[in-house]
């Protein structure tokens, strides 16, 4: 018996030694630090508005995001697409199938052929390329494609922006002997040229492997180059072909993803499928033997430059058009839930029009309603549809079932009250997620306000009668959701709202705006507000003039009359200067570097003006929070605040940061945002508002590099990204008094802020560890004795590049736990996880 126990004792002793060694190793690996908090030394009050967000229509935050309109392309302003091949849309060039090959002729400056029914995230794509001669130019694949376009822009009648009007990656072969790898965001962004054998008169296999933000290119099965897009990766999109100033031939275009291989044949489309005359966000639909035509009408249009005609000429069945929302990702229909909408139509002769909710391919009809077009003048036809089944990727159809012709000027579809937020034209699930995120202030602005046609008077009245315009981020923008809709939403959600305005608004129009939002119902513009459905004043208190402006003499000349017109109508309005960024510490306010502006001379004039009128003026500056250690103490911003106080003594002013900006929405951005909030809390009441851009983002929508949504969504789901969790954590643990705190950390990996309640019963510590190792810290607190031996801890931790996906929306999320701190013995020690943001709540 004893002989059997000896090995067992040895094993136990060995396990004990291993555990002891591991414990020592863990302590050795954890860095040492000391955090001190003087809870009885309150430095200043902490603003409730440091957990804000900036929303605009970049990456379709509004149209395709928050706005309840389910149709994308509702005003039919997009130019017609050309479908020479089944399943493909052509953007310039000549694409002719010959047998199993596709001949791309008349090369030109970058014509594109893009698969119309595909959104690919990760996987592989490939094609075989043939060059009949060694002329200069290139040809190959484009992947993760969105927003393709070609030719002149018919909406505004100006030339296209060169040959680079698409968003995606280019992988092309050039017969001079190299591989071309480039990124496009409506402009060319070359990545690299790699030497490569490119023979003529033989087929060459070209392929690309896509995994997250990494690309690997293979030629004839051999890996030629690998690239990791760490700055602004394009995450999803379609697949296509592109040539540049030469002829080429293609065959065997394919993709492989999730274990499924798919090849796309090159086949001519029939006339009914080619789509000529059909606005670009819509597709032709047909059943039976029905035949007809589509045309974009340029006369007697409903709005903008064109309206859509549909003509059923002969046959039996149905002919019409269908819409599958933004990027054709489908519409989410809930069974037995009502949907409502309207069409604006005209018809020279009475005609029946049907609207329907259908499956993506049209094989199932979930709900249908018949409408009668009776007038040659524009008339509004309202409808209600209740689907008999659920579908997460359906479509909306407008169709005819007998001979006739109608012109459609506007189409609108939204969920009933059940799916909207407090009766507003806002998706309920998105709005509720923003409220749950803890957002306290929302700024509606950004580059969208700089467009030459962005004016508030075009954004009021019936939303289907508002004129579309050439937007900054999308050239066929609708005005269905604008500044006043934003204000209504913020009031309903409980957010402080700050709208931004184009600097070319006139003083008269800005005075009218103030009367519209704040004037009594018996005033001219207050009466207009009342007739628009809001009899009570909005009580707006903040507005911004411009966005990322060069604040110089030119800006001052526009600012002065606008501000004076605003203050004359409502002296309590705080006007915010749409300033930009300052890249260096300012020592001489009238001679410095680090930005587009080299002097604060115009700032002095603005401050002097505010002082003369006994008004307060704010300045909006933007910072980068792409990844830690930024923002690195906000030294430049602190100097800007200090210099403003010096150049106009006695002027009342504050500074706001309306945009934390980044090229990503990963954990590294979350840590940087947390550092920014910590550091802003230390500045005090001169910096009372902080907002992170962008408020939200449709999944896979990254067509301009600002891939930084706090909240992501698709037609049926909403989820937070890591930076969004930071906003929520800080907001739900808010305390009003910033107390003295400090950290001794040899490796400078910890960033700390501490706050307490008015009654002194709650103390909150916010600690960011930007390092890749755990940091063990001794925590010394004076002036506060916890009554509870256990603290509540909320920790967000993860690898720097980690993001949350629709498939794994909780890959990174805060973990809550209890910590028995031991402060009764005069001190405590806590180990902060690598790459983490931790909030400790002591009570």
Flag whether pLDDT at 827 surpasses 90: no
- Flag the least confident range among 27-36, 516-525, 556-565: 27-36
pLDDT of residue 14: 43
* Predicted confidence band of residue 10 (pLDDT cuts 50, 70, 90): very low
414, β-bridge pairs: 340
Q: For the segment 171-193, what is each residue's pLDDT rounded down to a tens digit? A: 999 999 999 999 988 778 899 99
Task: Tell me the CATH architecture of domain 29-44+739-842.
Answer: Sandwich (2.60)
Q: Is 110 helix (H, G, I), strand (E, B) or coil?
A: coil
- pLDDT tens, residue by residue, 21-37: 444 444 445 568 999 99
Please state, for a pLDDT cut of 90, what percent of the chain lies above it: 82
pLDDT digits (tens, 9 = 90+) for 729-787: 999 999 999 999 999 998 999 999 999 999 999 999 999 999 999 999 999 999 999 99
CATH 2.60.120.260 residue window(s) in the chain: 275-416
Q: Which helix (H) or strand (E) holds 644?
A: helix 635-647
**pLDDT digit string (tens) for 609-660?**
999 999 999 999 999 999 999 999 999 999 999 999 999 999 999 999 999 9
CATH 2.60.120.560 fits 88-264, yes or no: yes
Angle at 256 between CA 253 and CA 260, to 5 degrees: 120
Whether 181 and 171 have beta carbons less than 8 Å apart is answered as yes
Q: What pLDDT does residue 228 have?
A: 93
Count other Cβ atoms within 10 Å, centred on residue 691. 28
Structure tokens at 93: 């060039």
Pick the CATH number of 275-416 from 3.40.1280.10, 3.30.1330.10, 2.60.120.260, 3.50.50.60: 2.60.120.260
Query: Would you state the pLDDT for residue 704?
Result: 78
| CATH (residue range 50-68+420-734) | 3.20.20.80
pLDDT-derived band of residue 92, with 50, 70 and 90 as boundaries? confident
Average pLDDT over residues 233-245: 91
Token pair for 180:
């071309």
Percentage of the chain surpassing pLDDT 70?
A: 93
Q: How many residues can be counted in the chain? A: 843
Rounded alpha-carbon distances, angstroms, from residue 425 to 220, 327, 332, 659: 53, 21, 16, 25
Residue 161 has pLDDT above 60, yes or no: no
Q: pTM for the full model?
A: 0.86
Give the pLDDT confidence score for residue 173 in this predicted structure: 97
Residue with structure tokens 């136990």? Answer: 12
Q: Is the pLDDT of residue 57 over 90?
A: yes
pLDDT band at residue 164 under the 50/70/90 scheme? low
Q: What is the DSSP string of 683-696?
A: H-TTS-EEEEEPSE
- Distance CA(474)–CA(156), nearest Å, equals 12
Name residues whose C-beta falls within 8 Å of residue 384's C-beta, 6 or more positions apart in sequence: 338, 339, 340, 341, 369, 416
pLDDT at 204 over 60: yes
**Averaged pLDDT for residues 71-96:** 89
- Report helix, strand or coil for 37: strand
- Paired sense of beta strands 214-219 and 203-211, if any: antiparallel
In 3-state terms the chain splits into helix, strand, coil percentages (rounded to 5) of 20, 40, 40
The predicted-structure confidence for 265-320, as pLDDT tens digits, reads as follows 999 886 545 556 899 899 999 999 999 999 999 999 999 999 999 999 999 999 99
pLDDT higher than 60, residue 108: yes
Q: Which residues of 145-166 are buried (b: 16+ CB within 10 A; e: fewer)?
A: bbbbbbeebbbeeeeeeebbbb
Q: What is the mean pLDDT of residues 426-452?
A: 97
- At 453-476, the pLDDT tens digits run 999 999 999 999 999 998 988 889
CA separation for the pair 326, 688 (Å, rounded): 36
Average pLDDT, rounded, for the chain? 92
* pLDDT above 80 for 16: no
Q: CATH 3.20.20.80 spans which residues of the chain?
A: 50-68+420-734
How many of the other CB atoms lie within 10 Å of CB of 281?
22
User: Which pLDDT band, with edges at 50, 70 and 90, does 107 fall under?
Assistant: low
> Could you tell me the maximum CA-CA distance found in the chain, to the nearest angstrom?
106
Q: Read off the pLDDT of each residue in 591-596 and give the average, rounded to a whole number.
A: 92
Q: Is the separation of the CB atoms in 80 and 279 below 8 Å? A: yes
Please say if the pLDDT value at position 673 is more than 90.
yes
pLDDT at 34: 96
**Which residue carries 């930024």 as its tokens?**
630
Q: Grade residue 3 by pLDDT with cuts at 50, 70 and 90.
A: very low
**Higher confidence at residue 472 or residue 10?**
472
| Angle of helix 601-612 versus helix 553-569 axis, rounded to 10 | 20
Q: Is the pLDDT of residue 2 over 50?
A: no
């Amino acid at each position: 018996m004893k002989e059997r126990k000896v090995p067992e004792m040895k094993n136990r002793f060995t396990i004990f030694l291993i555990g002891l060694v591991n414990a020592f190793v863990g302590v050795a690996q954890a860095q040492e630090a000391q955090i001190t908090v003087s809870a009885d030394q309150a430095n200043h009050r902490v603003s409730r508005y440091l957990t804000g967000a900036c929303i605009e229509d970049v990456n379709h935050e509004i149209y395709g995001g928050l706005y309840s309109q389910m149709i994308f392309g509702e005003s039919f302003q997009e130019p017609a697409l050309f479908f020479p091949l089944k399943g493909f849309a052509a953007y310039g060039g000549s694409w002719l199938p010959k047998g199993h090959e596709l001949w791309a002729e008349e090369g030109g400056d970058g014509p594109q052929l893009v698969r119309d029914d595909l959104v690919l995230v990760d996987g592989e794509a490939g094609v075989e390329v043939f060059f009949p001669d060694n002329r200069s130019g290139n040809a190959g694949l484009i992947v993760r494609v969105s927003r393709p376009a070609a030719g002149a822009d018919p909406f505004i009648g100006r030339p296209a922006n060169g040959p680079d009007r698409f968003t995606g990656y280019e992988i092309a072969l050039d017969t001079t002997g190299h591989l071309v790898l480039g990124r496009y965001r409506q402009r060319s962004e070359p990545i690299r040229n790699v030497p490569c054998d490119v023979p003529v008169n033989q087929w060459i296999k070209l392929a690309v492997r896509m995994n997250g933000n990494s690309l690997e290119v293979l030629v004839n099965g051999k890996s030629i180059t690998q690239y990791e897009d760490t700055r602004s990766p394009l995450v999803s999109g379609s697949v296509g072909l592109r040539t540049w100033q030469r002829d080429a031939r293609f065959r065997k275009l394919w993709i492989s993803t999730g274990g499924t291989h798919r090849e796309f044949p090159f086949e001519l489309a029939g006339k009914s499928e080619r789509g000529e005359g059909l606005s670009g966000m819509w597709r032709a639909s047909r059943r039976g033997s029905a035949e007809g035509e589509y045309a974009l009408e340029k006369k007697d249009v409903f709005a903008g430059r064109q309206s859509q005609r549909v003509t059923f000429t002969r046959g039996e069945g149905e002919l019409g058009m269908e819409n599958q929302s933004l990027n054709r990702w489908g519409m989410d229909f809930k069974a037995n839930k009502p949907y409502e909408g309207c069409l604006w139509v005209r018809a020279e002769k009475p005609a029946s029009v049907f609207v329907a909710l259908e499956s993506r391919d049209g094989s199932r009809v979930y709900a249908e309603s018949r409408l009668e077009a009776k007038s040659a003048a524009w008339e509004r036809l309202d409808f209600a549809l209740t689907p008999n089944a659920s579908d997460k990727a359906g479509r909306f159809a407008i169709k005819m079932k007998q001979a006739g012709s109608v012109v459609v000027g506007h189409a609108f579809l939204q969920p009933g009250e059940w799916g909207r937020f407090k009766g507003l034209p806002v998706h309920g699930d998105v709005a509720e997620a923003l409220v749950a995120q803890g957002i306290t202030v929302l700024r509606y602005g950004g580059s969208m306000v700089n467009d030459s046609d962005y004016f508030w008077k075009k954004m009021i009245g019936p939303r289907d009668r508002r004129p579309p315009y050439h937007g900054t981020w999308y050239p066929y923008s609708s005005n269905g959701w604008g500044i006043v809709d934003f204000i209504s939403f913020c009031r309903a959600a409980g957010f402080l709202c700050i709208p931004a305005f184009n600097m070319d608004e006139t003083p008269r129009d800005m005075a009218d705006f103030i009367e519209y939002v704040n004037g009594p119902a018996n005033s001219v513009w207050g009466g207009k507000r009342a007739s628009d459905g809001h009899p009570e004043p909005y009580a707006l208190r903040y507005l911004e003039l411009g966005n990322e402006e060069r604040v110089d003499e030119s800006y001052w000349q526009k600012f002065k009359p606008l501000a004076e017109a605003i203050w004359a109508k409502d002296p309590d309005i705080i006007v915010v200067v749409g300033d930009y960024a300052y890249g260096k510490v300012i020592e001489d306010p009238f001679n410095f570097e680090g930005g587009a502006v080299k002097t604060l001379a115009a700032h002095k004039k603005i401050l002097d003006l505010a002082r003369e009128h006994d008004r307060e003026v704010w300045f909006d500056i933007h910072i980068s929070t792409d990844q830690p250690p930024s923002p690195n103490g906000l030294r430049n911003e602190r100097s800007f605040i200090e210099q403003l106080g010096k150049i106009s003594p006695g002027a009342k002013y504050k500074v706001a940061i309306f945009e934390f900006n980044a090229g990503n929405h990963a954990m590294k951005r979350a840590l940087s945002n947390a550092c920014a909030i910590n550091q802003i809390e230390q500045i005090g009441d001169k910096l009372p508002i902080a907002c992170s851009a962008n408020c939200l983002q449709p999944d896979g929508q990254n067509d301009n590099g600002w891939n930084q949504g706090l909240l992501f969504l698709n037609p049926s789901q909403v989820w937070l990204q890591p930076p969004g969790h930071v906003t929520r954590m800080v907001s739900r643990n808010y305390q009003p008094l910033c107390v003295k705190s400090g950290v001794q950390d040899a490796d400078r990996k910890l960033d700390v802020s501490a706050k307490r309640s008015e009654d002194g019963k709650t103390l909150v510590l916010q600690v960011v560890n930007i390092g890749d190792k755990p940091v063990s810290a001794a925590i010394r607190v004076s002036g506060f004795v916890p009554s509870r031996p256990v603290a509540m801890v909320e920790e967000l931790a993860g690898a720097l590049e980690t993001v949350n996906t629709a498939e794994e929306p909780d890959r990174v999320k805060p973990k809550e736990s209890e910590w028995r701190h031991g402060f009764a013995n005069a001190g405590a020690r806590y180990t902060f996880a690598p790459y983490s943001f931790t909030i400790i709540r002591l009570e």
